[in-house]
Chains A and B, each alone.
Chain A
Amino acid sequence: MLLPAFEYHRPTGLAEAFEVLDHYAGKARVLAGGTDLLVNMKRKTVAPKQLVGLERVAELLGVRAGNGRIEIGARETAARLAGAGGIARDLGVLAMAAAKLGSPQVRNLATIGGNLCTARPAADMPLPLLVLDARVVLAGSAGEREVGLDAFFAGPGQTVAQPKEILTKVVIDRAEPGTGGGFVKLGLRRTLEIALVNAAALLTLDVDGKTIKKARVALGAVAPTPIRAPEAERVLLGKVASDELFAHAGEAAKQDARPITDHRGSATFRLEMVSVLTRRALHQAWENAREQ
């Protein structure tokens, strides 16, 4: 499969990248890891005439902690995030999801910014970031804005980012003590598989080590965008954690999902899996929270 023709721009910094994007009036596309865009260009589903490579833009690299926040550069790869050991309590749930994305080779290329901007309903990294209440920073020549991830996705393949904007970083708050996360992905085979359903959970336990002070659940592949599961969260809040409670939350999560039937699975099957995966992700989160 050959790539169609295009012009390639290699800015060495963000300011220069914005200039190129402005010059082509938003018709130029940004290229990060290429694992999504180059595949689509080979399949001829998209044919941008201008590509702006981010490989020399160093401002988009690095994971920084400070002021109670953690900032993740948009070009950090799934492989690097899967191994983000130092800030495990905060980024553990993201690491779990990043480790399940694609294959080792894909993880070495695929970036967090690219995974968010593709806005695939089944993408893996949006879920941990939704339960972490992450925000993304969208920047352009006119300045930058911070958008909550729950308001970032607009539909399958669509986000609120303007064509002239670059997603520069993902921002999360540092986790409170007693916080743990879980991530579960169901595919038709173990690796190299886009999820049939995936789920992430985050629980913060009270000082008593039992009562759920904060609960977050996110689901993928069961709606036009990755979603939070407010019904499931409501069941959990303020209760004493237990596997029975997680089973209730799993049932409740079905009300949050709007799955479709496609060649990979029926809506009914997906709904059942929503409850199973929610329960499992919560159990994992609970175990991790108790270890903190």
Chain B
Amino acid sequence: MKKHPIRLNVNGTEYDLLVAPNRTLTQALREDLGLTGAKHGCGVGDCGSCTVLLNGAPVNSCLVLAVQADGSNITTIEGLAEGTSLHPLQTSFIEKGAIQCGFCTPGMIMSAKALLDHSDRPTAREIREALSGNLCRCTGYQKIVEAVSDAAENMSRGGRKES
């Protein structure tokens, strides 16, 4: 298999990589760049635990070849906190008890972030729709929906909340 040189901008940093064609974006992020936030779950698009933002839009990184993502901007859960200050979504997930085992959380938060990037005060229905591609085996979703709604409110009240 001939490897391909690619350039990815991940969380604002440029990376040059040489990847085999059958390497997925999940693998490149986790194994080549050491960014293990995006989780590898089902590998076939069902669970959403591998969700990252590709040029701002949430995608299943297990269904994107690293080589296909050449030249794009990627945001992972590692890109949300600013220094020691957590993103309001991260804070509200903790405060609302929306994290149990935590496996689904990075993907869940990336889907929620994509929603809040476009919508200030989403309804519970809109939140459920935005998170519909993310499975959680622990929480029953109610706390997750509350956490997203809470974060939206905090953000519209004045930006990022200190943790």
Q: Which of B4, B45, B70, B132: most chain A CB closer than 10 A?
A: B45
B1 on interface, CB distance cutoff 8 Å: yes
Contact count A vs B, C-beta below 8 Å: 93
> Does A79 belong to the interface (CB within 8 Å)?
yes
**Residue contact B133 to A38, C-beta cutoff 8 Å:** no
Query: In the complex, A79→B133 CA distance in Å?
Result: 13
B92 at the interface (CB under 8 A from A): no
Q: Are B59 and A3 in contact (CB under 8 A)?
A: no
Flag if B44 contacts A105 (CB, 8 Å). no
- Give Cα distance in the complex from A35 to B61, angstroms: 11
A145 within 8 Å of B (CB atoms): no
Question: Is B133's CB under 8 angstroms from A105's CB?
Answer: yes
Q: Is the CB of A39 within 8 A of B45?
A: yes
A35 touches B63 (CB 8 A): yes
If A53-B68, A192-B46 touch, does A104 touch B114 (CB 8 Å cutoff)? Answer: yes
Given the complex, which residues of A lie within 8 Å of B22, measured CB to CB? 2-6
- Chain B: which residue is nearest A34 at the CB level? B63
Q: How many residues of A contact B (CB 8 A)?
A: 31
**Chain B residues numbered 49-65 whose CB sits less than 8 Å from any CB in chain A:** 51, 54, 57-60, 63-65
User: Which listed residue, A7, A191, A192, touches B1 by the CB 8 Å rule?
Assistant: A7
Q: Which residue of the partner chain, among B1, B46, B129, contacts A5 with CB atoms under 8 Å?
A: B1
Known: A1-B43, A1-B44, A105-B48. 13 other contacts (CB 8 A): A2-B22, A31-B65, A38-B65, A43-B44, A79-B57, A102-B133, A103-B132, A104-B111, A105-B111, A106-B45, A106-B63, A109-B60, A191-B129
**Which 7 residue pairs across A and B have the least CB separation, nearest first?**
A103-B133, A8-B21, A191-B132, A1-B43, A3-B22, A108-B57, A105-B133
Q: Residues of A with Cβ closer than 8 Å to B? A: 1-8, 10, 31, 33-35, 38-39, 42-43, 51, 53, 55, 79, 102-106, 108-109, 190-192
